[in-house]
């Protein structure tokens, strides 16, 4: 039986006045730490290269250490800590080309 356990994909957003894309994902607690978010993120990042985008962004709440670790795996680098959408977040960026 197929079951939805989360999502992963890109969304347009504005970073410091520039239009960008952001990688987002969420996996239900019962399925975390099984590699699903990393696998989905890796596939999404490979697919997003096809339109020849130069880079992608991601952000996570400052205290979400699991997400920080996951974002580092495919090569996202921390670029800033800021307030965004009324949250303390860390922004990450990954060069695609």
Please report, for the chain, the start and end positions of each structural domain, with discontinuous segments joined by +. 6-95
Q: What is the mean pLDDT of the chain?
A: 91
Residue 47 has a pLDDT of: 87
Residue 48 has a pLDDT of: 84
Q: What does the alpha-carbon distance between residue 77 and residue 21 come to, in Å, rounded to a whole number? A: 15
| CATH number given to 6-95 | 3.40.630.30
User: What are the backbone dihedrals phi and psi of residue 96, each rounded to the nearest 5 degrees, phi first?
Assistant: -105, -30
What pTM was estimated for this model as a whole? Answer: 0.73
pLDDT, tens digit, 9 for 90 and up, residues 74-89: 999 999 999 988 899 9
Residue 4 has a pLDDT of: 82
Segments in the chain below pLDDT 50: none
Residue 37 has a pLDDT of: 92
State the Cα angle at 92 between 87 and 95, rounded to 5°. Answer: 155
């Amino acid at each position: 039986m197929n079951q939805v356990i989360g999502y992963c994909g890109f969304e347009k957003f504005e970073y410091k006045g520039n239009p960008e894309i952001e990688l987002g994902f969420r996996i239900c607690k019962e399925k975390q730490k099984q590699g699903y978010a990393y696998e989905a993120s890796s596939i999404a990042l490979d697919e997003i290269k096809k339109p020849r985008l130069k880079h992608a962004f991601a952000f996570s709440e400052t205290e979400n250490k699991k997400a920080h670790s996951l974002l580092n795996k495919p090569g996202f680098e921390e670029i800033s800590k800021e307030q965004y959408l009324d949250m303390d977040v860390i922004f990450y960026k990954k060069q695609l080309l």
